[in-house]
A and B are shown apart, each in its own frame.
Chain A
Amino acid sequence: MALQSLDIVRRSATTTAPPSVREPHTGTVAKLIDTTKCIGCKACQVACMEWNDLRDDIGTNVGGYQNPHDLTDQSWTLMRFAEYENPDKGNDLEWLIRKDGCMHCADPGCLKACPAPGAIVQYANGIVDFHEENCIGCGYCIAGCPFNIPRISKRDHKAYKCTLCSDRVAVGLEPACIKSCPTGALVWGTKEEMHQHAAERVEDLKSRGFDRAGLYDPPGVGGTHVMYVLHHADRPQLYNDLPEDPHISPAVSVWKGATKPLALAGIVLTALAGFFHYIRVGRNETHESDERAAARETEHVRHE
């Protein structure tokens, strides 16, 4: 194999070790989304459609710029528009636009929840990818995701989401959305480089009066390979409910953690208990004496 970029470090519903001899010495990749530079042009949405051959249904206008209304199996990225009146700046209107899509968590809830071996994988470069040919359409990934990203297609009942253009990245290209961004709001590189770039951006924003500017790389999911620069990093909810402290739900951790081996062990032990009861105590049989006793009882009742 010469496809190091496609080395899989985690595979859904797989209990044995993945190939882990090769490590990405140049580091993992990351997309940095600088919301402070975004003008909401949706070029990234178009680039995503073009590269991935996706065409969503034409929807209806509900009086906002957000289009389509939500992520779908055909829309893997979406500019979410929020109008915020900043009380600290005399109720100035701020248009907070956030490019939504898969965050490519270091600790992916979708992969943890998936019951189909190899339907969700995590590459050594950090990308979390769905392999739809292995997907069975149960939708557990939706329950597992802390960001509400995967969508099940009504046509084939398989789950779809942003691939971070794993096919382009594998051959040394940047994702399609990055290539299309006209303002440089989308930046691509190693995760380390993106941290450095974000630090420069945050410093610049602070010098311009955005005291609370910062980087969104939530530790609750082990960090993400899609990160945001936010003007209001202290209140990510302002950006169309970006979760403040995302983590895999405790219910999912219980369901997909301790429950699995314990329940299996419990069932096996119950069966073994039965087997050894049979060996030690043995069968419970009816004897001839029982038949005679029953016959006496029958006669007794008959002649009562």
Chain B
Amino acid sequence: MNDTTSEPQRRTIERYTANERTNHWFVAIAFVLSAISGLALFHPALYWLSALLGGGTWTRILHPFLGVVMAIGFALLAAALWKFNKMEPRDWQWLRQGRDVVNNREDRLPEVGRFNAGQKLLFFVLVVSILGLLLSGIVLWRQFFSIYFSLGVIRVAAVVHAVCAFVLICAIVVHIYAGIWVKGSIAAMTRGTVTPGWAWKHHRAWLREKLHATHPRPRSD
């Protein structure tokens, strides 16, 4: 017996740490429950979703707590990933070539760091919409906070809450689809790793950074 396997084990690259993955899926679960309960109260056609949370009254009770849990979880995730989501000049070029993006012509796009411009845009849409939901949601939280606000403020908060929720849900639909579309992305968030080829194709600048970090250039002097 020797300790070499017949096929060389393909090396993988860590994309998300266990903590990042846990945080992501914590927020994802809180989002799904918040969205189900929120949609149940938003449109009569979806009121049946309230059954999934134990009926209308339980939906009303749980929804704001679920929203706050989501906002806190997201704040932690956003703080950890903030520095990777700053827009750079090459990101604007990436966005201008949106047609190449959606048609799988990545070879024509500028090199991408840890996150591409679409992911960065999503990041900031999530930051703004979740902040809007949190602030307007506090105003609408009848049981504890609504008495501190005038009827005019409550009415505007209801509109803000609905608009932010719409933007958030659409953004997450796009986010989920992107995961289904770009193969290997879901494994990145479940196993935490990607293959070098995946990184080369989708996040080449990030791969180079990673390689240089593990194989630092020898000093010239």
Contact = CB atoms under 8 A, between A and B. Distances in A.
Contacts of B207: 294, 297
B47 A251 contact: no
A167 to B, nearest CB: 24
A284 B104 contact: yes
Interface string A250-261: 011011000111
A134 B59 CA distance: 13
Interface of B is mostly: helix
B79 interface: no
Interface of A: 13-15, 115-117, 134, 136-140, 142-143, 148, 152, 157, 249, 251-252, 254-255, 259-261, 263-264, 266-267, 270-271, 274, 277-278, 281-288, 290-295, 297-298, 301-302, 304
Nearest to A254: B159
Interface residues of B, number: 59
A134 B197 CA distance: 57
Main secondary structure of the interface of A (DSSP, over half): helix
Contacts, number: 158
A134 B50 CA distance: 13
Contacts of B197: 286-288, 290-294
B154 to A, nearest CB: 5
Contact of A136 (B10, B59, B106, B200): B59
Contacts of B177: 271, 274, 277-278
A142 B151 contact: yes
A302 B162 contact: no
Contacts of A136: 41, 50, 56-57, 59-60
Interface stretch (B17-25, B66-74, B179-187): B179-187
B109 to A, nearest CB: 12
B163 interface: yes
Contact of B47 (A13, A288, A293): A13
